[in-house]
Amino acid sequence: MIQHHPDMSTLISYAAGALSSNFTQLVKCHVENCSDCQAKIQEGEQLGGQLLNMHPSSSEATQTSSFDDFWKTNINERVFSEANIVAPTSYEDMIESLKDGQKWKSLVPGIGQIKLMDGAQGTLRLFKIAPGMAIPLHTHNGNEMTLILKGSYSDELGRFKAGDVADVDDDTDHQPIADTGEHCICLIATEAPLKFKGLLPRLMQPFIGL
Ligand SMILES: [Zn+2]
């Protein structure tokens, strides 16, 4: 049962095609498996339609039609057809398809990563955290979104299990700890390099490439 979801503002941005590609990939993985978020996006779509119908005026006619096109292209065709055509995948399948033959690279003992995207907009990475291991305490220069694919972790924000999304901004300090007997595998999209607290993590940062 999924308990943590992307913020509504994140879902709206996703539906409007306004998220950068690394965040889009992560949100898509969650939404395909989350009927709550699919419903929220659909409600947003209906609300958008109602708002358009509330103020019909000749001067806005051209604007409305271009917005209508935008909405149709971005929400109905791009998001929904994509999300609905793809049959629900298991998270195991998703991890394999994301890995695409790549091997886990050890950052520090107990934490492995696979970099899927790395560009000016940020990164998209798979993380594998051994039971009991923690990602060092950090804050962010920008947004960070985590989708749990396997296992679970706990941090200051709660407990996150497969399917849950942690959608955090630069006000959040957190230290996720894998909290069961199995590895926690998650997909993490970041906007900018993380800022670690404490001397050791800061010294390690250039080496582990976070
Ligand atoms: Zn959701």
Reading the block at residue 43, the tokens are 């409600």
Domain hosting residue 125, numbered range? 92-208
For residue 63, is it within any domain? yes
Question: How many whole angstroms from 64 Cα to the centroid of ligand 1?
Answer: 30
pLDDT at 165: 93
Question: How many whole angstroms from 1 Cα to the centroid of ligand 1?
Answer: 10
pLDDT at 152: 92
- With bands split at pLDDT 50, 70 and 90, how would you rate the model's confidence at 71? very low
Question: How many whole angstroms from 41 Cα to the centroid of ligand 1?
Answer: 10
Considering the chain, what percentage of its residues have pLDDT values greater than 90? 15
Question: How many whole angstroms from 132 Cα to the centroid of ligand 1?
Answer: 26
**Of 101 and 36, which is predicted with more confidence?**
36
pLDDT in tens, 142-198: 778 899 988 999 988 899 998 899 988 767 777 888 988 889 999 888 886 555 556
My answer on whether 52 and 107 are in the same domain is: no
pLDDT at 92 over 70: yes
Residue 52's CB is within 10 A of a number of other CB atoms, namely: 16
My answer on whether 105 and 204 are in the same domain is: yes
Domain count, the chain: 2
**Of 52 and 133, which is predicted with more confidence?**
133
For residue 1, is it within any domain? no
What's the average model confidence in pLDDT over 68-92?
47
pLDDT at 204: 56
HEC secondary structure over 98-163? HHCCCCCEEEECCEEEEEEEEECCEEEEEEEECCCCECCCEEECCCEEEEEEECEEEECCEEEECC
pLDDT at 106 over 80: yes
My answer on whether 102 and 185 are in the same domain is: yes
Which protein residues have their CB within 5 A of the ion that is ligand 1? 5, 34, 36-37
